[in-house]
């Protein structure tokens, strides 16, 4: 099975380096994106901007954004952020999963969760593609694009919350088992 390749690839040393480097990358990119999003004057909070499926409301938000170009740059920078968080989730879940017995269901679930990290990032990329398409014509894009963008965002968030809950619970379990 393809998941079995994750038993030792990438190596534990590489996995640890990926975790550290991606965590640092996330911090840097989050700060940079925050500057652009804040400076743009976009009028909605983070979750509203991602989960709003109403085209008319998004058009209103874009019209009230002080500098749409800064908002666009923030969305473009988000692609780099996605790479970092996809790698972080992959390496973190792989590391946690490898703490359990080789043929255990928990270990295999760790491999699945590891793969879901990059999957969430890909869905985030699709979401951002629709945002960038909407920003190319902020007052005239088809309203269905807002719905599609929010569907990608919702699925991404379901995956991310599931992975985070899995990682927290399995980390606690591994600690209790003294792995």
Q: Is residue 68 part of a domain?
A: yes
Q: What gap in Å lies between CA 52 and CA 68, rounded to an integer? A: 18
Mean pLDDT of 138-147: 96
pLDDT of residue 8: 80
82-113 confidence digits (pLDDT tens): 999 999 999 999 999 998 888 899 999 999 99
Compute the distance between CA of residue 97 and CA of residue 171 in angstroms, rounded to an integer. Answer: 9
pTM over 0.75: yes
Model pLDDT for residues 77-90, shown as the tens digit of each residue: 999 999 999 999 99
Neighbours of 64 (CB within 10 A): 11
Is residue 154 in some structural domain? Answer: yes
Is 165 inside a domain boundary? Answer: yes
| Angle in degrees, CA 119, 125, 130, rounded to 5 | 135
Q: Is residue 168 part of a domain?
A: yes
The answer to whether residue 85 sits within a structural domain is yes
- Residue 16 reports pLDDT greater than 70: yes
In a domain? residue 98: yes
Average pLDDT, the chain: 93
The C-alpha atoms of residue 45 and residue 12 are separated, in whole angstroms, by 38
Residue 1 lies in a domain: no
Q: Residue 25, exposed/middle/buried by CB under 10 A (0-12, 13-18, 19+)?
A: middle
Measure the CA–CA gap between 64 and 96, rounded to whole angstroms: 44
Q: What is the domain extent for residue 76?
A: 8-176
pLDDT at 130 over 70: yes
Count of the separate structural domains present in the chain = 1
């Amino acid at each position: 099975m393809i998941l079995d390749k994750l038993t030792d690839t990438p190596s534990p040393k590489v996995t640890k380096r990926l975790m550290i480097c991606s965590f640092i990358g996330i911090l840097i990119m989050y700060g940079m994106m925050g500057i652009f999003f804040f400076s743009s004057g976009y009028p909605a909070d983070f979750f509203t901007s991602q989960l709003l499926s109403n085209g008319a409301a998004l058009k209103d938000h874009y019209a009230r954004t002080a500098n749409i170009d800064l908002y666009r740059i923030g969305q473009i920078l988000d692609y780099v952020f996605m790479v970092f968080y996809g790698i972080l989730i992959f390496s973190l879940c792989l590391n946690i999963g490898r703490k359990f017995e080789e043929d255990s269901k928990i270990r295999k679930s760790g491999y699945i969760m590891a793969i879901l990290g990059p999957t969430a990032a890909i869905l985030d990329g699709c979401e951002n593609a629709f945002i960038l398409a909407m920003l190319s014509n902020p007052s005239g894009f088809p309203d269905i694009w807002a719905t599609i963008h929010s569907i990608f965002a919702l699925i991404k968030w379901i995956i991310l919350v599931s992975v985070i809950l899995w990682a927290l619970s399995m980390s606690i379990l591994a600690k209790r088992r003294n792995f």
